[in-house]
Structure 1
Amino acid sequence: MKNQTFNRSLLAASVSALMTFSQSGFAATGTVVAQWNEAALEAIRVTHPGPPIVARALAIVDTCMFDAWAAYDAKAKGTRYGKNLRRPANERTQANKEKAISFAAHECLSDLFPTEITSFNALMTDLGYDPNDNTLDVKQPSGIGNIAAKAVLNFRHHDGSNQLGDLHAGAYSDYTGYTPVNSPDSIVDPNHWQPLQIGSTEQQFITPHWGKVVPYALKSGKQFRKMTPPPADYNTEPERYEIQAQQVLEYSAHLTDEKKVIAEYWADGPHSELPPGHWALFAAYVSERDHHTVDQDVKMFFALSNAIFDASIASWDAKRYYDYVRPVTAINFLYAGKTIESWQGLIDGADWKPYQAASVVTPPFPEYYSGHSIFSAAGAETLKLFTQSDYFGFSTTVQAGSSAVEPGSVPANDTVLYWATFSDAADDAGISRRYGGIHFIDGDLISRKIGRLIGQQAWDKSVQYFNDGKKPHHSH
């Protein structure tokens, strides 16, 4: 943690601004782009989709808004219609941009989160628009918004995510026939993921097919997998396998209050937005901090969410390909019958648990790559490229006793987490999963590296959309 002074007044102002809510319950300040992102995050908090589904949803809504906005920009080209929706110069007003953006976001979010349409309608009404205006007239900003969103949705409905449940029954369900090697009560192969029994529920791998989803800028889900080494194999590298488990135990046995706070803060996002949504919150802070225009926000959120979406595809491709064991399984397997040190005290290795809420224990998908590390590195890289600086200057105060793992006692005192740079925040997100006992060192560090590469590749593509297909030195 960086113990540096920071501008408290700036922080307080921006946080209070973000927390001003309108009648519909969404942030009433910030650009219309930031308000629709907050509406998307609220739908995510209510419906709890898995991390890759969150990443895709945010990328789709930000792409719909970008494509609608691009019709009113002199240079930008949309992802579906290119320049074909471009409106004449006299129509390129702030009011028309905001209206087109809002109709696009409303159309898109209603498709992605059909149970939350009432709240999306409320935000439209708040903004002064008619949520029932379904026009496809290109002379109307509402028509531009509706047309742009429909084109993105038509493309994404057939992108391999199985959103519609037409590849296998059930929205986003697996159509590739994944079955785990291990069961909750038996470890057949200690190299592979073991679904856990949590209460009466057996874990199911969330979206094992996600590596097949059509990416934004990646060539394919496996583009970077070919560059990375496989994780430690118990049969051929028992020493390396055990060392990585020992490292997790070392963290677990010596967790300070601050490390516990870091493990919990990053686990699910401040209000269950999951890591992709967590970076959207950071983007909202940057928007407030730097007093963004609508034009700046529409580009920033578009670039950010598409980079994180690609990170989800690369990460899940590797998770499915390697199907790699989580620390909880490896440690229970290696140290059963041996007394080990842990945050729980001295225990039998068979009883070791990660520092996570009892309702989670370990996420329902394999270990390698780390989603947190890859999402956060891609997000940090994008914000760094967009702002042309790594400076972040964000802090949050975690209240004493607010832990879900050890409620009432952790942290003993209010604890301030502060990140001087976007890179610091991404690194903290990555190591938080090692503190929490969720990931091994390779799963974290290799994923950070890949996330940065994905962020750069996605950024290069975004800049071309901003600038009429050209690659300039400065994008904004």
Structure 2
Amino acid sequence: MVLTNSAQASVPGVDPNENVLLQWNDAALEAIRETHPGPPMVARMLAVLNTSAFDAWAAFDNKARGTRLGTTLKAPANLLNEASKKEAVAYAAFRAASDLFPQPEQQQYFRDLLIQQGYNPNKTGSNKTTASGIGNMAASALLAYRHQDKSNQLGNINGGAPYSDWTGYQPVNTPDQINDPNRWQPLRVSDGHGGTVVQKFIAPHWGKVLPFGIKDWDKDVVMPVRKEIKKRTGRVGPATVDQPEYTEQALQVIAYSAVLTDQQKVIAEFWADGPSSELPPGHWNLFAQSVSHRDNHSLDQDVKQFFAVSNTVFDTSIAIWGAKVKFDSVRPVTAIHYLFGGQSINAWAGPYQGTQAIPGEAWQPYQALTVVTPPFAEYPSGHSAFSSAAAEALKRFTGSDVFGETYTELAGVSRVEPGQVPAAEVALSWATFTDAADEAAISRRYGGIHFVDGDVDSRLMGREVAKQDWPVIQYYFGNSKHKVKHSEGHEHEHEEDDR
């Protein structure tokens, strides 16, 4: 049964002219902007949403396998049509989104969207002879699995808040004392309401989350790129205070700070957390949407593309956060204060202050004052890894590195120096996915958030995740026959590549 559209004319943030999957990705991004989860949680949310949709879609495809129910969930012959497939995808996405965002306002938002699409949110049955039942079954199987993936989505591991740490991580430094200049320091930062709050490391347990395609983040992501990293730096991991590179990397960040152009400032801001606070995983979801529009994707193509990109980014979050906790490395702001406290340095002096001689302990990144520096360790860089992984996934899926996207920043709309930066319109353009990923990566050095090694090493790690995940993606697409053990011990057949 298809309902008459009784919802508002258009659900905010969603284009009703797009296919149902793009609409649900838009809705998820809107919910992310409203609820402000951390980067790894955003990566998982988008992966769960798009995997749920994929698993429902797979029931209508003669080759594809669902990730949880395999080929046991297949639509009967009377449902093998576009309308039923679209309906199943919509219900699967709705159930996943509703599970991921339990806030009452988000629940209503998702109900409104499903109604706008012409469906009844109260149809909760799991009958595989109906399109809604197939969508509900696919979502239910995936969500039951993901509730036990050690992300602590429900807070049931430790009786704490959703996604709260259950490993007992504690920083070695305090906001007021650097006990170890190699290690991450929680900062005392503005709460945006006139007070301050001490940072807490976001999701230090994330390296233990069950991945999609990689088996072990250290063995499968870090180890394969160790040789290349070591060839460049002579070590694997961040520089330590007893090495000259520790000071050299800090001086490089200060040097960037002192000569920031309007274009570099725009780059630092544009990539900081996405155009509207979607964070890097959400930002690359927007780029995947651009590819969908550029290439006039069908629903089938979008289901597969978003499944590939979102799961690659999700696995990247696990690998990068595992390494962040392993190295627990110092951010530039702490290292610079430690190295140059009591000295005068030439650097950006703060909003509207330009470059001046300032006390080393007063140095700050080129960021909004409510951000300063993210609440987790520096090495490796999430931006660099997320971006290189997503770019590689898009390159593999589309069969080309060609991107062709542009962005224009109007004069004076900076969030750090509004009214002044940029002095004139600035255009950013990326001929290739790799160009976009590289700019995202270096943006964190312009902004004073990452050192060179955290950036460059992470680009390698992100691409390695994409390489490891691609054969598993092909298995689920139904394009492969070779077996490989998955992270939780299941076996998957796959071969090289055929999108």
Q: TM-score if structure 1 supplies the norm length?
A: 0.94
Distance 1:275 1:284 in 2: 14
Residues 214, 220 of structure 1: 8 Å contact kept = no
Count of paired positions: 454
Aligned residue identity for 1:424: D
Aligned to 2:113: 123
1:183 corresponds to which residue? 174
Partner residue of 1:146 out of 119, 136, 143: 136
Tell me how far apart the structure 2 counterparts of residues 163 and 91 of structure 1 sit (CA, whole Å): 34
* 1:396-415 alignment runs, 5 A limit: 396-415=407-426
Deviations 1:200-251 (A, max 9, x none): 200000000000000111112323234530210113x1x1110111111111
Which residue does 2:32 correspond to in 1?
Answer: 44
SS of match in other structure, 1:347: strand
2:325 and 2:55 map into 1 onto residues whose CA distance is 32
Candidates 62, 80, 99, aligned match of 1:74: 62
Task: Give the aligned partner of residue 455 of structure 2.
Answer: 444
2:456 counterpart SS class: helix
Shift of 1:404: 1.2
- Which one of 451, 468, 488 corresponds to residue 457 of structure 1? 468
Within the candidate set 188, 197, 201, 1:197 is matched to 188
Contact 2:204 2:325 (C-alpha < 8 Å) held by counterparts: yes
In structure 2, relative to structure 1, the CA distance for the partners of 1:423 and 1:161 (3 Å cut) is same
Name the amino acid aligned to 2:375.
P
Letter in 1 for 2:116: D
Q: Is 1:205–1:364's contact at 8 Å kept on the other side of the alignment?
A: yes
Corresponding residue for residue 267 of structure 1: 272
Pair 1:211-2:207 in alignment: yes
Give the percent of matched residue pairs that are identical in Structure 1 and Structure 2.
Answer: 54
Does 1:234 pair with 2:241?
yes
1:57 aligns with 2:57: no
Deviation, structure 1 residue 91:
2.3
Q: Calculate the aligned-residue CA RMSD, in Å.
A: 1.2
CA deviations on 1:157-188 (whole Å, 9 max, x unpaired) are 01010111111211111111111111111111
Other-structure match for 2:255: 250
C-alpha separation in 1, matches of 2:50 and 2:241: 43
Determine the structure 2 residue equivalent to 1:363.
Answer: 374
List gaps (5 residues or longer) in structure 1: 1-20
SS at structure 2 position matched to 1:291? coil
**SS, match of residue 76 in structure 1:** coil
Quote the Cα distance in structure 1 between the aligned partners of 2:464 and 2:449. Answer: 23
Give the Å deviation of 1:468.
5.6
CA distance in 2, matches of 1:281, 1:260: 21
Normalised by the length of structure 2, the TM-score is: 0.89
Which of 353, 359, 378 aligns to 2:364? It is 353
How big is the shift at 1:346?
1.4
Query: Which residue of 170, 174, 194 maps to 2:161?
Result: 170
In 1, the alpha carbon distance for the partners of 2:47 and 2:300 equals: 17
- Residue 89 of structure 1: CA displacement? 4.3
Shift in alpha-carbon separation, 1:43–1:289, aligned structure 2, 3 A: same
Deviations 1:372-403 (A, max 9, x none): 00000000000000100000000011111111
1:225 maps to which residue? 222
Aligned to 1:343: 348
Matched residue SS, 1:309: helix
User: Structure 2 vs 1, CA of residues 22 and 337 (structure 1 numbering), >3 Å: closer, same or farther?
Assistant: farther
Alpha-carbon contact 2:79-2:130 (below 8 Å) kept:
no
In the alignment, the residues of structure 1 paired with residue 459 and residue 15 of structure 2 have an alpha-carbon distance, to the nearest angstrom, of 31
Match of 2:498 in 1: 475
